[in-house]
Every structure is written in structure tokens, then in C-alpha cells.
A and B are shown apart, each in its own frame.
Chain A
Amino acid sequence: MMRKKSLRCAGFLALFLSLVGLGLAVPCGSFAQGAKDMDTLKVGSTLPLNLGMGVETKKMLEVIVPNFNQAGGITLKGKKVAVDLIIYDDKYSAEAGRAAVERLIYQDKVRHIICQIGSAPIVAGLSVAEQEKVLTLAGGASAKIVSPGNKYTFGTSTTRTSIPPLWLMAKRVFPKATTVVFISPDDETGKARAAEEKKVAEANGVKVLDVLYYARDTVDFSSIAARAKGLNPDVISYPGAVAGTQFGLQMKAMHAAGFRGGQISAITPQMEEISAVASKEAMEGLLCKIPETDIPNPSALAVSVKQEYMKKYGTWSEASLTWIPAWYAFIEAIKKTDSTDPDVIANTMATKGLQWDMPNGKAMLVKRPDLKNTQYTDTCSEQSYGQIKDGKLAFAGKVSLDDVVGSCEKVFGGAWK
């Protein structure tokens, strides 16, 4: 009996130690590999590695950054510098996100944090980053990120500015629509996008019959679809929806409820995932964003990024492009200022703005006078739209950067440029 016990204890100790050892031994190679005689610049990021989009973004960065370093990296005051990107898991939560940001700033001594996705971790880490004068080029969809007073923080995701140009296209594709119903997740993003889209729709002469909210993790949309169908709108819009099977399920439910009108959304649908749950008929005619890689005459950058990604992983995922604008903005900002000092970069970006190329099109910083921010803080990018025809996403049109900014100015007011 005693022997068995001490055997168990020994087994436990061995297992425990090997687990901890495994945990410490597992980290993957540094991003700065391939940078032989170069200085390195440590840059930080936190991603929700408990969600698909976080893992996808990490995979994309693991392709882009080493290739960038191999191609010469950043040229800073004549010297070549490689970027060592440190990514921590923020679990899409404020607590883990804040701890990750604190670790990046105080332990790893980064001065720049890019490509974060979730608003909760971004906002939680903001206060520390601002206090320590760390440049944050964040994704996220919350308006709090671009509120005035965040000197070193810039919103590089285009979610906040994606609705007005969508409706430019919607008017082209569904010119006869006079009524719309919104189906939106009940969270910060959903509510904000729905409120914005209401303004936009009404500015475009389309009446919003109702906004139907669903709990964030809903999969059963039959009741909402029944309600939406009952209102009989010409068009259904999905502000704040997440690309993926959930979106497919919404369209499936709308179709099953008998809705045959137009559908629009500002997201880039994950065609493989959506096709797995929704029939071709359910998706038919959806107006949505199309990834740059799938339009006729894609930019050279888009093509090369897709090639590099496929070379490493063998497959392609459009989702990976959604959350990497910050990387390109970062590189461009350093190029423009020839400095990595957050003060210099933040100052230049805030007062002079920034324009950069990324796989999903050209982008630029804009002011948000409607959010009382008269400095350059948010991002607009040119938008390519597609319509789903017979189960495939076909190019429907492009809205230029100038038109995107113009449409935003018209709806939200103020001078954005």
C-alpha cells in the first residue's frame, strides 16, 4: 500500500515537472530568424489565441514578419533592422490582455504594440500603454480606442468606417430598396454598428423598420428570422456580425423563414465556412466585402502575401488579412519618420496623418470630429465589394479611398481628412 502511494507520488512529481518543462520548452522560434547581422527591434502584440481569428492572425504574422525581415527589414537611419514580434495570448479578456500588455511593456521592454483584435484587452491595456508612452496601433471595433486623449493610440481597423461606403454600394446594387431590418449581435460592436448604420440608412433614404439583437453566441436564428421576415423589409443588413459559420446560419434561417429580399453586410465572409452551413440559395445576392486577393487585377502586394501564406501552410484563409492593417501602418510610419521613437511617430501620425498600402487595399488615417477627436486617429481604406452568385463571391465594385472618406464625412459630419 505504501509502495503504491510513493509510486503515485513519484509519478505525480514526474508528470508535473514534465508538464512544466514542456510548457517552458515549447515556444516556437523567434520571428527575427533570418535576420543575421541586423539589429532587432522588439515589437509586441496580443492576440485572442482562444479564437480562430486570433490563431489565423498569428499564422499570417508568422509568414509576413520573417519574410519582411529576410527582405531587409526596416531601414532605420541607414541601418537595417529586423522586427522581433512578440505575441502573447490575451484570451479575448481584459484581465489576461492587461497582464500581457504589462509584460510586453515592462518585461520585454517593447515600445510598440500592434495588431490587437479584441476591444476588451485593447482598452484594458490602453491605460498602461498611454502612461508608458508606448505606441499602440490597435484593431478592435470600439469607439473608445479612438476617443480624444489617447495620444499614443491609433485605431487601424476599418470596422468603424465600413458602413457608409457599404451603403454607397448598396444603393447601386439594390436601388429600389426602401426598407431595411438590422440583425445585430448584442454587444458593444453590434450596438455601435447598428446605431451608425441607422444613420447611414436614413441618410440614404431607407427606412429602418427594426433592429433585432441576438446574444453573441446564438446559433439558432429561427425566431429572429421569423420576426424579421414578418416585418417584410426589402433588405436585411447584418451590422456587427462576425464572419464565419454564425453568419451563414443567419442567412440560412432568413432563407428558411421565406425571406427573398436583398442582404448586405460589411464583413468579408469566410466562404468555406458559410458554404458548409448555408445553401447557395440562402446566400444568393448577398452584398459584402471581397478580399483583395479575389478581385480582378489584385494588387501585387495581395498576390505576394497570398503566395507566401500558401507556400507555408498549403491553404488560404481570407480571415487572416482582416486584422493585420496595423503591421503595414507600423512599417509605413517608421519609414515616414525614420524613427522608432513613439513620441515622434505618434506626433507625426496624429498631426500629419499617414497613408499606407496593405493587402486589402490602400488605407489612410482620418480624424473623427464626430467623436470629438480632431487629430488623425482612425482608419479608412478603399473597399472592394462582392456579391455572392451561385455560391461564389463575385466582384461587384470598388469604392475608392476618397469616396470612402467622403461618404463617412457626409454621414457623421466634420472634416475627416
Chain B
Amino acid sequence: MSGEVFAQLFVNGLASGMVYVLIASGLILVLGVARIFNFAHGEFYMLGAYATFAFYQALHLNFFLSVAIAVIAVAAFAGVCYRFAFHYMRGNLLLCAAASMGLSMILERGALLGFGTQERGMPSPFTGTLAVGNVVVPVEKMTVILLCVVVMCGLYYLLMSTKLGKAMRAVKLDTEVAALQGVNTTKVYALAMATGCALAGLAGGIIAPLYSITPGMGHTVLLKSFMVLIVGGLESMVGGVVGGLVIGMTLSFGHYLVGGLSEILLFGVIGVILVFKPGGLFGEVVEDV
């Protein structure tokens, strides 16, 4: 493998890995704070893509503006879903999981019937390639990487420095104690769900010009996102970052090296990691659920 190809695969793995990081971060937030195993997470990713497409295509807005509005729309929608469904079973992991499965069924079929069967695509706002030395990388991939990094930094700031972020972390550590400290746990749950699903929607919006926008895109991304959690540890943000990058890189290099067996390779990598660290790289092995 030449240096050129290696660099291309690396950038490619980084780009797709960062997208997985975004989606997985949302999943971890929802799981850790709101205690919801969100099987509908992929659907929010899909909604983010469709919303971005709608605002960009129909209202002719600038790409970044479209993504921003789409994210807000998805966050609001997720908040509504929380209030009218998950609120009633808050704290109960299994019930929320079942409800999220029901929500996923509704959204997936709803998207197919509502948005139509025609698969969509968005023109990329960043065409062209960047040449660094004799390595050629598409600009759009670099933009994805940059955007994801910016968002993750923003997320870090949110969680570490803002009042809401601290409240979320408190609720994640121990809901009862957080409530005793005066944290409005219900509001925090709802906002965690909104933020987490917004992250998924953001990933969908960012990725929309690179690939395609189809009603089934959420379905395909869901299992990979859970794999990120498996690798990184279910409730660790750092784990989410590392896990996403591991998966992105493995798939990128795997497709090049072993073609169709890349999925098996991925499972092999995950298996090896789990043998040494059953809870994931940054996970903890906890007794109760």
C-alpha cells in the first residue's frame, strides 16, 4: 500500500469515524443521562438529513443554516417525543427501549410514506480536492472532520462548563442525589434526549451531501452506532470518540484490504477488544442495570 493510498484511507476512516462519533455521542448522552436505550436513534439521524435537504432545497438556504435549523427541528421533535412517551416510563431502561422500538417503526414507515420513495441527494457545498504533498483528499471529507471536531468541542464545553451540562452529569451519576441537590431531573432528561437526538440529526445533516438521503438510512446506521458503544464503553464520551474512530478506521482499511470480509474483520477487532476489556475500552463492568 502506497503512502498516498494510506493517507486517503486514513482521512476516509477519520471522516466516517467522526460521524459515528457524533451519532454515538448522542446515543451515549441519551443512554447515560435519560436512561433510554434509543432504538429510534437512527431515525433521528435520518430526519436530520431530510430536514437539512428540505431547508436547503426547498427554501434555498445556505448549507450551514439548513443544518442548524434542521438540528433545532430535530431537537424539538425529540423533546416532544420525550414528553409524550418516554416521560411516563423515565428511569426504566427496558420500557424505554420497547417504546423507542415502537417509535422507530412509526418514524421509519412514516418517512417512506411521507417523504416518498425517491431517494434524494444533495449537491455538496464543498466540491473539489485538497492536495497536501502528493496526497489528494476531497474537501468535503475534511469539512466533515472539521465540523465534527467543532461539535465535539462544543459538546465538551456543554457538559463540563455549563450549568445544564453539569446537571446532566449529576443526573447520570446518581439521579436521586441530583434531585436532592435541586436539579429538575425531568427537564434534564428531556433536554438530554433532545440534545442526543440533535447530535444524530446533526450527523445526518452533515453527511447528507456526501452520500444519499433515503428513508432507510437510519436503519443501517443504528447497529453500527451500537457497535461504537460496545467498543468504547456504554457510558463514556471518551469511549465514544475512540470507539467511533476504531470502527471508522477498521471499516475504511478493511474494505481496502479484505473487501467483503471487512464486516468479519470488524467483529474480530471488537471481539479482541471485548476479550481484554469486557465492558468496552473505557467502560465499567457494573452489577446492576
Query: In the complex they form, do A and B come into direct contact, defined as C-beta atoms under 8 angstroms apart?
Result: yes
A interface residues (Cβ-Cβ under 8 A, vs B): 50-53, 55-56, 186, 210-215, 217, 219-220, 222-224, 226-227, 230, 244-246, 248-249, 256, 270, 272-273, 275-277, 317
Q: Is the CB of A219 within 8 A of B5?
A: no
Instruction: Tell me whether A277 and B121 are in contact in the complex, defined as CB-CB below 8 angstroms, given that A51-B216, A213-B260 are known contacts.
Output: yes
B residues near A52, Cβ cutoff 8 Å? 112, 117-119, 214-215
Q: Is the CB of A248 within 8 A of B255?
A: no
CB distance from A51 to the nearest CB of B (A): 7
Q: How far is the CA of A273 from the CA of B211 in the complex (A)?
A: 12
Chain A facing B: main interface SS: helix
Q: Is the CB of A214 within 8 A of B119?
A: no
Q: Is the CB of B256 within 8 A of A224?
A: yes
Q: How far is the CA of A211 from the CA of B263 in the complex (A)?
A: 16
Chain A residue nearest to B140 (CB atoms) is: A256
Q: How would residues 143 to 170 of chain B score, 1 for a CB under 8 Å from any chain A CB and 0 otherwise?
A: 0000000000000000000000000000
Q: How far is the CA of A219 from the CA of B252 in the complex (A)?
A: 12
CB distance from B42 to the nearest CB of A (A): 11
Q: Is the CB of B256 within 8 A of A273?
A: no
Q: Is residue B8 contacting chain A, with contact meaning CB distance below 8 A?
A: yes
Give the residue of A56, A213, A214, A248 whose beta carbon is less than 8 angstroms from that of B212. A248
Give the residue of B118, B211, B251, B254 whose beta carbon is less than 8 angstroms from that of A317. B118
| Size bracket, chain B contacts | 35 or more
B residues near A222, Cβ cutoff 8 Å? 8-9, 12, 252
Give the residue of B112, B118, B129, B215 whose beta carbon is less than 8 angstroms from that of A273. B118
User: In chain B between 196 and 243, which residues have their CB closer than 8 angstroms to a CB of chain A?
Assistant: 211-217, 219-220
Give the residue of B12, B113, B119, B138 whose beta carbon is less than 8 angstroms from that of A223. B12
User: In chain B between 1 and 26, which residues have their CB closer than 8 angstroms to a CB of chain A?
Assistant: 5, 8-9, 12, 16
A residues near B30, Cβ cutoff 8 Å? none
B residues near A223, Cβ cutoff 8 Å? 9, 12, 251-256
CB distance from A14 to the nearest CB of B (A): 15
Q: How far is the CA of A217 from the CA of B120 in the complex (A)?
A: 16
CB distance from B268 to the nearest CB of A (A): 15
B residues near A275, Cβ cutoff 8 Å? 121
Q: Is the CB of A50 within 8 A of B109?
A: yes
A residues near B121, Cβ cutoff 8 Å? 245, 248, 273, 275-277
Q: Is residue B262 contacting chain A, with contact meaning CB distance below 8 A?
A: yes
Q: Is residue B122 contacting chain A, with contact meaning CB distance below 8 A?
A: yes
Among B12, B119, B263, which residue has the most Cβ atoms of chain A within 10 A?
B119
Instruction: Tell me whether A220 and B118 are in contact in the complex, defined as CB-CB below 8 angstroms, given that A215-B263, A226-B8 are known contacts.
Output: no
Q: Is the CB of B220 within 8 A of A217?
A: yes
CB distance from B140 to the nearest CB of A (A): 10
Give the residue of B8, B9, B212 whose beta carbon is less than 8 angstroms from that of A219. B212
Q: Is residue B125 contacting chain A, with contact meaning CB distance below 8 A?
A: no
Q: How far is the CA of A246 from the CA of B214 in the complex (A)?
A: 10
Q: Is residue B259 contacting chain A, with contact meaning CB distance below 8 A?
A: yes
Q: Is the CB of B256 within 8 A of A214?
A: no
Give the residue of A217, A224, A245 whose beta carbon is less than 8 angstroms from that of B119. A245
B residues near A55, Cβ cutoff 8 Å? 112-113, 117
B interface residues (Cβ-Cβ under 8 A, vs A): 5, 8-9, 12, 16, 108-109, 112-113, 117-122, 129, 138, 211-217, 219-220, 251-256, 259-260, 262-263
B residues near A317, Cβ cutoff 8 Å? 117-118
Query: How many inter-chain contacts with C-beta < 8 Å in the A-B complex?
Result: 102
Q: How far is the CA of A244 from the CA of B216 in the complex (A)?
A: 13
Chain A residue nearest to B254 (CB atoms) is: A223
CB distance from A132 to the nearest CB of B (A): 31
Q: How far is the CA of A220 from the CA of B249 in the complex (A)?
A: 12
Chain B residue nearest to A223 (CB atoms) is: B255
Q: Is the CB of A273 within 8 A of B260?
A: no
Q: How far is the CA of A226 from the CA of B119 in the complex (A)?
A: 25
Chain A residue nearest to B214 (CB atoms) is: A245
Q: How far is the CA of A247 from the CA of B117 in the complex (A)?
A: 16
Extra contacts, 6 of them, besides A52-B214, A256-B129 (Cβ < 8 A), are A50-B108, A50-B216, A56-B117, A220-B12, A224-B255, A249-B212
Q: How far is the CA of A244 from the CA of B217 in the complex (A)?
A: 13
Q: How far is the CA of A211 from the CA of B259 in the complex (A)?
A: 8
Chain B residue nearest to A53 (CB atoms) is: B117
Q: Is the CB of B256 within 8 A of A50?
A: no
CB distance from A218 to the nearest CB of B (A): 8
Instruction: List, sorted by A's number, 25 A–B pairs whose CB atoms are closer than 8 Å.
Output: A52-B112, A52-B214, A55-B112, A186-B263, A211-B259, A213-B259, A215-B262, A217-B216, A219-B212, A219-B217, A220-B211, A222-B8, A222-B12, A222-B252, A224-B259, A226-B5, A226-B8, A245-B120, A246-B212, A248-B121, A270-B118, A273-B121, A276-B212, A277-B212, A317-B117
Pairs A-B, 7 closest by C-beta atoms: A213-B260, A276-B121, A245-B212, A52-B117, A277-B121, A223-B255, A217-B220
A residues near B251, Cβ cutoff 8 Å? 220, 223
A residues near B219, Cβ cutoff 8 Å? 217
Q: How far is the CA of A220 from the CA of B262 in the complex (A)?
A: 13
Q: How far is the CA of A249 from the CA of B220 in the complex (A)?
A: 16
Chain A residue nearest to B105 (CB atoms) is: A50
CB distance from B264 to the nearest CB of A (A): 10
Among A226, A273, A275, which residue has the most Cβ atoms of chain B within 10 A?
A226
CB distance from A220 to the nearest CB of B (A): 5
A residues near B214, Cβ cutoff 8 Å? 52, 244-245
CB distance from B201 to the nearest CB of A (A): 17
Q: How far is the CA of A211 from the CA of B119 in the complex (A)?
A: 27
Q: Is the CB of B256 within 8 A of A226?
A: yes
Q: How far is the CA of A220 from the CA of B120 in the complex (A)?
A: 16
A residues near B217, Cβ cutoff 8 Å? 219
Q: Is the CB of B262 within 8 A of A226?
A: no
CB distance from A28 to the nearest CB of B (A): 13
